[in-house]
């Protein structure tokens, strides 16, 4: 209590002094506090250990408690529960010399106890409000339960589905990813009614943009591998989402594990200081990824832990996650860096209001009322509905009538822990419905939904164990034949087979790179057998990444991509399956025809020998594959609906534009089918002649609109200089005069266009 009073008195004194010095309250507070700190206490602020052995009610005796008392800890992460956090905060505030409160962080990636779809699926809504709402609900729940800092959003653009962490980002496109990343920062940090007053509301939490930079482009799609990119591509393809998050005011940034231009991000001065702070004006704190500081030794760039710490802090790193390497930085010549890092961390704590009230995030009442509420669940369910992508629907097999006799088959059909998806640390899976329960609740008679598991995830138990870590296991000990026979017998009794198959939760996520993206063997074989029954099959494809669905596309009438849609997956899938709402998701990343096409993007550069327009198959001496078509199986931006939409040609308010003017592009979209639905109208632009060479098309804007059955709507896009420009290799944005093609349509491959000339 004594130390709290000292901090409070300090706050009052500083407020009085501020008027005459010109320094802000925040600066004066931190100055004063730092003037009282020893070098060890400063180093302690830079130290971010993982929670260790803390158990509620016994935090006092945990291995970390003594370190906290000695002022050797700046924050902790992944400790769950307001009571446990309050207890640990009390040790910091009342039993350490200066009583400096701790930061409590967590990987709140796509929801807290109410879990939303994985971020890649949220990106498929193309609805930035949905992303903002997900972050807002996450912040309300996490802040009610002791957390003031989340390691999210992950804004790593990824064009390579082999990389398992593609599930945590917003897909292949920098423009869509930038909008989503900024929306999530707003959702976490801004109180609802007064954007701009970030973090003042205790129901907000500090966001952490990660992983800076280019973590999503490892060579070969292999986790933690080197990234090799030109600066031109970094600035145009990978940096925009990071920059958008910085512009949205993100409070912290996490450096990535990978090397870039031969330098690990953890000690990359160009990234952490020149670009992030000096060019982009970031003024928050930078944190290392898990043990990344000490791993500079493993990279072979530092001889020992001390040298690793020196390199990281000099590059602009402020907080050391888990390595405990910064505790070694006692050298005199390090003090300026230590002071700078300590100042940034204390400033973050100040901005979070922790010095006013160290317990403001562990309100033991809010944690009883604000978590997994009916309202939050309803919000998550509606985002989940919007995230599902209908890839194929021959003869309008979907939606099904609620009277249909369904055989629900597959390893994902009745598993509770696999619904929420990877990186759902705070999830409470025992409360979430399985798909089977969701469909049974929605059907007119629950006996209309028959069930058999049919097979394990794969024949290989070791692979299955890797793909079902962290309590997500689902392996059945019956023989493959027994499971298959049971499934075929059940399927024979039904009108329609609904196959819930694909990846388990942990088949994607951190360190889950794959070289083969086909449906896992046992599930593929089961699908082949089920197909022989001659009944219609709906594939509900679970995956945290694009997968290769060639066989499924050729042989099954209907495919609904369900990703991992969070705690409300089961109800949301039932809503779409039975037609209570139309699917409206559009792919934020293309599904390849072959792993060999990866990395791939619709934003490919123009080559000297492009394929003829509209041509997709091999052509000698033109950019093509001898054994595969060029296009993906399902392109970026693609997704079907239960209705159909007609697009009118696009018209421009002028055909020429002066570089500082704007032009309006207008088109009309009509719902020509049988139900109300949402459509995402997309705008792409191509520079016809440019130096340097630019992509064949780039997404520049979109609108998600709702159209009642038979309704038409005029959609307008404003085209300005910013939409036509690009970053040069120095990161300077420029727009060149010349001809531009303006393309609109329902996805990146089905576009109509007109031209504009820019002077």
Residues carrying an active site annotation: 289
What minimum distance in Å lies between the beta carbon of 88 and ligand NOJ? 18
Distance of closest approach, residue 252 Cβ to ligand NOJ, in angstroms: 11
Secondary structure class of 278 (helix, strand, coil): helix
**Cα torsion angle, 45, 47, 51, 52, sign:** negative
Site string for ligand NOJ, 182-211 (x = CB under 6 A): ----------------------------x-
Q: Is the dihedral of CA 126, 129, 132, 134 positive or negative?
A: negative
For residues 109 to 148, the per-residue mask of contacts with ligand NOJ, x marking binding by CB under 6 A and - elsewhere, is ----------------------------------------
CA 242 to chain centroid, in Å, comes to 12
Determine which residue in the list 107, 223, 318, 503 makes contact with ligand NOJ, applying CB under 6 A. Answer: 107
CA angle 476, 477, 478 (to 5 degrees): 95
Q: Looking only at residues 508 through 567 of this chain, which bind ligand NOJ when binding is defined by CB under 6 A?
A: 510
Dihedral over Cα of 589, 592, 598, 600: its sign: negative
Between CA 139 and CA 136 the distance in angstroms is 5
- Coil/strand/helix, residue 121: helix
Q: How many residues bind ligand NOJ (CB under 6 A)?
A: 6
From residue 46 to residue 65, what is the string marking binding to ligand NOJ with x (rule CB under 6 A)?
A: --------------------
Site track for ligand NOJ across 677-696, x = CB under 6 A = --------------------
Compute the least distance from the CB of residue 289 to ligand NOJ, in Å.
5
Tokens 């209908």 sit at which residue? Answer: 390
As beta bridge partners, residue 651 has 666
Q: How far is the CB of 510 from ligand NOJ (least distance, A)?
A: 6
Nearest-approach distance from CB 210 to ligand NOJ, in angstroms: 6
Judged by beta carbon, residue 151 or residue 636, the one nearer ligand NOJ is 151
Q: Please, which residue, 257 or 636, has the CB nearer to ligand NOJ?
A: 257
Contact between 299 and ligand NOJ per CB under 6 A: no
Among 116, 151, 361, 740, which residue sits at the site for ligand NOJ (rule: CB under 6 A)?
Answer: 151
Instruction: Say which residues have a Cβ less than 8 Å from residue 216's Cβ, sequence separation at least 6.
Output: 156, 157, 158, 159, 160, 163, 165, 166, 169, 238
C-alpha distances in Å from residue 393, one per residue of 538, 539, 572, 674: 9, 10, 18, 15
Kindly tell me which of 104 and 151 has the beta carbon lying closer to ligand NOJ: 151
Residue whose CB is less far from ligand NOJ, 107 or 678 = 107
The closest alpha carbon to 115, from 412, 415, 389, 430, belongs to 430
> Binding ligand NOJ by CB under 6 A: which of 87, 160, 289, 571?
289
DSSP line for 370-415: SSS-HHHHHHHHHHHHHH-EEEEEGGG-PSPPTT--EEEESTTTT-
Q: Considering beta carbons, is residue 290 or 753 the nearer one to ligand NOJ?
A: 290
Three-state DSSP at 452 gives strand
| Phi-psi sector, 322: left (phi>0), alpha (psi -120 to 50), beta | left
User: How far apart are CB 691 and ligand NOJ at their closest, in Å?
Assistant: 38
Q: For residue 406, what are the β-bridge partners?
A: 449, 496
Pick between residue 113 and residue 295 the one whose CB is nearest to ligand NOJ: 295
Closer residue to ligand NOJ, CB minimum distance, 292 or 302: 292
**Minimum separation from the CB atom of position 107 to ligand NOJ (A):** 5
Residues 210-249 within binding reach of ligand NOJ (CB under 6 A)? 210
Contact between 290 and ligand NOJ by CB under 6 A: the answer reads yes
With respect to ligand NOJ, which residue has the nearer C-beta, 48 or 341?
Answer: 48
Neighbours of 19 (CB within 10 A): 7
In angstroms, give the least distance from the CB of 191 to ligand NOJ: 25
Please choose, from the candidates 592, 616, 589, the residue with its C-alpha nearest in 3D space to the C-alpha of residue 603: 589
Task: Name the closest residue to ligand NOJ (Cβ).
Answer: 151
Q: Are 306 and 273 in contact (CB under 8 A)?
A: no
Q: Comparing C-alpha atoms, which of 619, 622, 618, 597 is closest to residue 608? A: 622
Considering only residues 317-336, where is the footprint of ligand NOJ by CB under 6 A?
none
CB of 224 to ligand NOJ, least distance (A): 9
Residue closer to ligand NOJ by CB (options 47, 379) is 47
Q: Residue 605: how many CB atoms within 10 A of its CB? A: 13
- Nearest to residue 359, comparing CAs of 85, 161, 544, 619? 85
Binding pattern for the stretch 255-274 against ligand NOJ, x by CB under 6 A and - elsewhere? --------------------
Summarize as ranges the residues that interact with ligand NOJ (CB under 6 A): 107, 151, 210, 289-290, 510
């Amino acid at each position: 209590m004594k130390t709290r009073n000292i901090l409070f008195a300090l706050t009052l004194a500083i407020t009085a002094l501020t008027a005459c010095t010109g320094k802000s309250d925040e600066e004066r507070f931190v100055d004063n506090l730092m003037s009282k700190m020893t070098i060890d206490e400063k180093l302690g602020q830079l130290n971010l250990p993982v929670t260790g052995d803390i158990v509620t009610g016994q935090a006092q005796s945990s291995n970390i408690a003594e370190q906290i008392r000695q002022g050797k800890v700046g924050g902790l992460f992944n400790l769950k529960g307001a009571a446990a956090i309050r207890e640990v905060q009390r040790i910091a505030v009342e039993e350490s010399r200066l009583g400096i409160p701790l930061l409590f962080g967590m990987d709140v990636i796509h929801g807290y106890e109410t879990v939303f779809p994985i971020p890649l699926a949220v990106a498929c809504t193309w609805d930035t409000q949905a992303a903002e709402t997900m972050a807002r609900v996450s912040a309300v729940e996490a802040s009610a339960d002791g957390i003031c800092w989340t390691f999210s959003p992950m804004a790593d653009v990824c064009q390579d589905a082999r990389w398992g962490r593609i599930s945590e980002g917003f897909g292949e496109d920098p423009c869509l990813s930038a909008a989503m990343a900024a929306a999530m920062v707003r959702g976490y940090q801004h109180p609802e009614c007064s954007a701009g007053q970030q973090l003042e509301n205790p129901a907000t939490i500090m966001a952490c943009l990660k992983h800076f930079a280019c973590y999503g482009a490892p060579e070969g799609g292999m986790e933690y591998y080197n990234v090799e990119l030109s600066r031109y591509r970094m600035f145009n393809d990978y940096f925009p989402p990071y920059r958008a998050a910085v512009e949205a005011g993100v409070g912290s940034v996490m450096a990535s594990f990978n090397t870039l231009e031969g330098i690990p991000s953890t000690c990359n001065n160009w990234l952490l200081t020149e670009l992030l702070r000096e060019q982009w004006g970031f003024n928050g704190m930078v944190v290392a990824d898990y043990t990344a500081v000490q791993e500079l030794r493993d990279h072979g760039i530092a001889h020992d832990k001390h040298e690793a710490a020196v390199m990281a802090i000099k590059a602009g790193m402020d907080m050391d996650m888990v390595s405990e390497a910064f505790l070694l930085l006692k050298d005199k010549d390090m003090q300026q860096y230590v002071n700078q890092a300590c100042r940034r961390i204390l400033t973050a704590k100040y901005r979070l209001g922790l010095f006013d009230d160290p317990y403001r995030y562990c309100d033991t009442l809010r944690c009883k009322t604000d978590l997994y509420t009916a309202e939050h669940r309803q919000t998550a369910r509606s985002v989940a509905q919007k995230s599902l992508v209908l890839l194929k629907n021959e003869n309008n097999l979907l939606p099904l009538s609620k009277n249909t006799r369904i055989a629900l088959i597959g390893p994902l059909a009745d598993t509770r822990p696999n619904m929420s998806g990877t990186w759902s640390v705070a999830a409470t899976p025992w409360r979430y419905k399985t798909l089977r329960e969701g469909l049974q609740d929605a059907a007119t008679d629950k006996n209309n939904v028959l069930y058999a598991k049919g097979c394990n995830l794969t024949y290989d138990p070791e692979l299955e164990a890797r793909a079902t870590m962290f309590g997500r296991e689902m392996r059945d000990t019956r023989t493959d034949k027994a499971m298959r026979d049971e499934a075929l017998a059940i399927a024979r009794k039904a009108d329609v087979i609904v196959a819930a198959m694909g990846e388990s939760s942990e088949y994607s996520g951190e360190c889950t790179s794959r070289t083969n993206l086909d449906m896992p063997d046992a599930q593929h074989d089961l699908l082949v057998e089920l197909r022989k029954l001659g009944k219609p099959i709906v594939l509900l494809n679970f995956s945290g990444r694009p997968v290769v669905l060639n066989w499924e596309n050729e042989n099954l009438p209907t495919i609904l991509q369900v990703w991992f849609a969070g705690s409300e997956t089961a109800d949301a899938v039932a809503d779409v399956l039975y037609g209570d709402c139309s699917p409206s998701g559009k792919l934020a990343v293309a599904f390849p025809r072959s792993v060999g096409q990866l990395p791939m993007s619709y934003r490919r550069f123009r080559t000297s020998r492009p394929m003829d327009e509209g041509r997709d198959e091999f052509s000698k001496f033109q950019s093509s594959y001898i054994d595969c078509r060029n296009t993906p199986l399902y392109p970026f931006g693609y997704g079907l609906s239960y209705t159909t939409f007609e697009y009118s040609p696009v018209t421009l308010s002028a055909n020429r534009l002066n570089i500082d003017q704007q032009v309006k592009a207008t088109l009309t979209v009509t719902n020509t089918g049988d139900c109300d639905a949402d459509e995402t109208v997309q705008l792409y632009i191509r520079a016809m002649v440019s130096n340097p060479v630019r992509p064949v098309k780039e997404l520049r804007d979109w609108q998600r609109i709702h159209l009642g059955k038979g309704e038409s709507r005029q959609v307008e896009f404003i085209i300005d200089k910013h939409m036509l420009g690009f970053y040069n290799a120095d990161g300077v944005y420029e727009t060149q005069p010349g001809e531009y093609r303006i393309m609109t349509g329902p996805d990146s491959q089905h576009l109509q266009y007109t031209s504009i000339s820019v002077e």
